[in-house]
């Protein structure tokens, strides 16, 4: 049960607010020094080994793609398209917020980046049109959770690497669950707007001419979605190549088509990409060593035996995992939980006959909801900070939208075809 001590040490360090990769590194060193006869240089090798995986190149490309969105003018044109589609509904800007997150989710890959962009672009106007601070912040935060599920979400890539499944399969599996989250959030926004008497953001439905001009302006962004998802699905190129091609297309659009991008925007984007990629890579490196420890300690087999003694029903297992993750997600950052738990739970998943791709979508959606729960919800804290909203107001005003996401989680958990139908 040495592996259990390693987990306990990591969670104790998480509770002390230590950075994720440092907590994992400390647990790795403790294992090799106190509980193992394996030479310490092996620990160094296990930490460095993941950097040799070429699939990791997909991460910086998609992070860079997301950071370039605001500077290219693509985000602004997608905003017009989203308003054209749903602005006539009651509470129009709330619908536009969710729809824009859905459109951007197929390109940007980062829910934090999307949430920050929405806070600047839409929340001030939502407040002027009658939305309370808590509701505007909650819609923005909940809408941004569509991004990790719709390809090319970074969480999809990380899970695929940790669970040893196809990145392309994870990308395809995320489409329907992401659209389901979008639809349920739109329903929640509409019902809330009708209850509060909020007005549409448009006075009339768009004319054919307006529709044509808006689509013409937004076609590069829609083309990017087709390039990323369609190219991978048809095996024209790998996820890494898709990220590189999409980035080059975005730069061409920003510099030569829309002519809104400046050289300083590219420099800032590369700087931000380097920072975010480094943070993700450090976690992946240390998590690989943790997974190796779990492997030699036969932790996955022990976990499988323990769970199958309690139940062999896959639906009860998924229900128990969801409840556990919803609780843990209140205290531990989602990426850390995914990287720690996937090597432990995958043997159980396979033994119970659960498709690992389906399980991955359930896991990612659950952990995404965790970013909205105090005390460590990263999206919750960032949105409340940027919009100057109290956390209490966020929870009180935002419960209909959180409930919509919970309904989506239940549907994705117990209706596997939502994840597997397009694979």
**Based on the structure, what is the number of domains in the chain?**
1
Domain of residue 264 covers 2-420
Look up residue 265 and give its two tokens: 């925007």
Secondary structure of residue 340 in the 3-state scheme: helix
Least confident of 1-10, 159-168, 172-181: 1-10
Per-residue pLDDT at 188 exceeds 80:
yes
Q: In which band, very low, low, confident or very high, does the pLDDT at 409 lie, cut at 50, 70 and 90?
A: very high
Q: Which segments within 38-142 are labelled E, that is strand?
A: none
Per-residue pLDDT at 418 exceeds 90:
yes
Secondary structure of residue 202 in the 3-state scheme: coil
Secondary structure of residue 303 in the 3-state scheme: helix
Read off the pLDDT of each residue in 138-167 and give the average, rounded to a whole number.
Answer: 85
Q: Whose CA is closest to 361, among 117, 132, 176, 92?
A: 176
pLDDT above 70 as % of the chain: 94
Read off the pLDDT of each residue in 278-291 and give the average, rounded to a whole number.
Answer: 77
Per-residue pLDDT at 108 exceeds 70:
no
Read off the pLDDT of each residue in 151-166 and give the average, rounded to a whole number.
Answer: 85
Is the CA virtual torsion 185, 335, 118, 239 positive or negative?
negative
pLDDT above 90 as % of the chain: 12
How far CA 86 is from CA of 89, 94, 96, in Å, comes to: 6, 9, 6
Read off the pLDDT of each residue in 37-51 and give the average, rounded to a whole number.
Answer: 76
Read off the pLDDT of each residue in 100-125 and give the average, rounded to a whole number.
Answer: 73
> Residue 330 has what pLDDT?
75
Read off the pLDDT of each residue in 272-277 and give the average, rounded to a whole number.
Answer: 80
Q: What are phi and psi of 147, to 5 degrees?
A: -60, -45
Q: Whose CA is closest to 108, among 68, 156, 165?
A: 68
Q: Whose CA is closest to 175, among 154, 146, 155?
A: 146
Least confident of 263-272, 286-295, 314-323, 412-421: 286-295
Mean pLDDT of the chain: 81
Each residue's pLDDT tens digit, 333-383: 777 778 778 888 888 898 889 999 999 999 999 988 888 887 667 788 778
> Residue 376 has what pLDDT?
65
> Residue 303 has what pLDDT?
67
Cβ atoms 380, 372 nearer than 8 A: yes
Distance CA 21, CA 284 (A): 8
Q: Whose CA is closest to 380, among 404, 401, 411, 359?
A: 401
Per-residue pLDDT at 79 exceeds 80:
no
Distance CA 355, CA 417 (A): 11
> Residue 375 has what pLDDT?
64
Q: In which band, very low, low, confident or very high, does the pLDDT at 280 lie, cut at 50, 70 and 90?
A: confident
Each residue's pLDDT tens digit, 209-227: 877 877 777 777 777 777 7
Per-residue pLDDT at 89 exceeds 80:
no
> Residue 326 has what pLDDT?
85
Q: In which band, very low, low, confident or very high, does the pLDDT at 241 lie, cut at 50, 70 and 90?
A: confident
Q: How would DSSP label each residue in 261-293?
A: --HHHHHHHHHHHHHHHHHHHHHHHHHHHHHHH
Angle separating helix axes 58-72 and 111-121, nearest 10 degrees: 10
Look up residue 129 and give its two tokens: 């049109």
Name the residue with higher pLDDT: 293 or 183. Answer: 183
Cβ atoms 83, 201 nearer than 8 A: yes
Cβ atoms 162, 55 nearer than 8 A: no
The residue whose two tokens read 């106007």 is: 125
Look up residue 38 and give its two tokens: 């394996």
The residue whose two tokens read 């199958």 is: 308
- Helical H segments across 353-390, by residue range: 356-370, 378-387
Distance CA 278, CA 38 (A): 28
Distance CA 377, CA 365 (A): 14
Distance CA 208, CA 90 (A): 22
Distance CA 211, CA 217 (A): 10
Per-residue pLDDT at 109 exceeds 60:
no
Per-residue pLDDT at 142 exceeds 80:
yes
Each residue's pLDDT tens digit, 297-310: 777 667 667 777 77
């Amino acid at each position: 049960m040495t592996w259990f001590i390693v987990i306990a040490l990591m969670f104790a360090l998480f509770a002390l607010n230590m950075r994720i990769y440092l907590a994992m590194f400390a647990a790795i060193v403790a294992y090799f020094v106190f509980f193992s006869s394996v030479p310490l240089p092996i620990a160094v090798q296990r930490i460095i080994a993941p950097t040799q995986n070429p699939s990791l190149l997909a991460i910086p490309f998609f992070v860079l793609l997301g950071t370039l969105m605001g500077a290219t003018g693509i985000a602004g044109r997608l905003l017009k398209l989203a308003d054209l589609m749903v602005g006539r509904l009651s509470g129009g800007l709330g619908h536009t917020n969710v729809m824009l997150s859905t459109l951007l989710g197929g390109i940007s890959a980062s829910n934090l980046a999307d949430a920050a962009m929405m806070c600047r672009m839409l929340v001030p106007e939502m407040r002027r049109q009658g939305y309370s601070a808590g509701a505007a912040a909650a819609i923005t935060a909940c809408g941004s959770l569509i991004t990790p599920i719709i390809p090319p979400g970074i969480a999809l890539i990380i899970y695929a690497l940790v669970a040893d499944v196809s990145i392309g399969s994870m990308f395809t599996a995320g489409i329907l669950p992401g659209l389901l989250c979008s639809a349920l959030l739109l329903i929640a926004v509409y019902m809330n707007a009708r209850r509060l008497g909020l007005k549409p953001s448009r006075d009339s439905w768009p004319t054919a001419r307006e529709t044509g001009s808006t689509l013409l302006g937004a076609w590069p962004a829609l083309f990017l979605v087709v390039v990323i998802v369609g190219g991978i699905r048809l095996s024209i190129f790998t996820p890494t190549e898709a990220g590189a091609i999409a980035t080059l297309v975005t730069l061409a659009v920003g510099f030569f088509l829309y002519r809104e991008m400046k050289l300083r925007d590219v420099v800032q984007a590369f700087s931000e990409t380097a920072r975010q990629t480094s943070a993700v890579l450090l976690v992946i490196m240390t998590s690989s060593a943790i997974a190796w420890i779990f492997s030699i300690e036969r932790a996955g087999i022990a976990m499988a035996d323990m769970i199958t003694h309690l139940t062999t029903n896959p639906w009860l297992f998924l229900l128990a995992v969801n409840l556990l993750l919803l609780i843990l997600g209140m205290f531990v950052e989602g990426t850390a939980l995914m990287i720690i738990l996937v090597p432990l739970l995958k043997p159980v998943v396979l033994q119970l006959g659960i498709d690992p791709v389906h399980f991955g979508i359930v896991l990612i959606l659950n952990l995404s909801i965790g970013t909205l729960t105090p005390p460590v919800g990263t999206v919750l804290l960032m949105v409340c900070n940027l919009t100057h909203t109290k956390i209490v107001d966020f929870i009180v005003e935002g419960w209909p939208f959180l409930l919509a996401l919970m309904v989506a989680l239940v549907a994705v958990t117990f209706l596997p075809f939502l994840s597997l139908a397009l694979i």
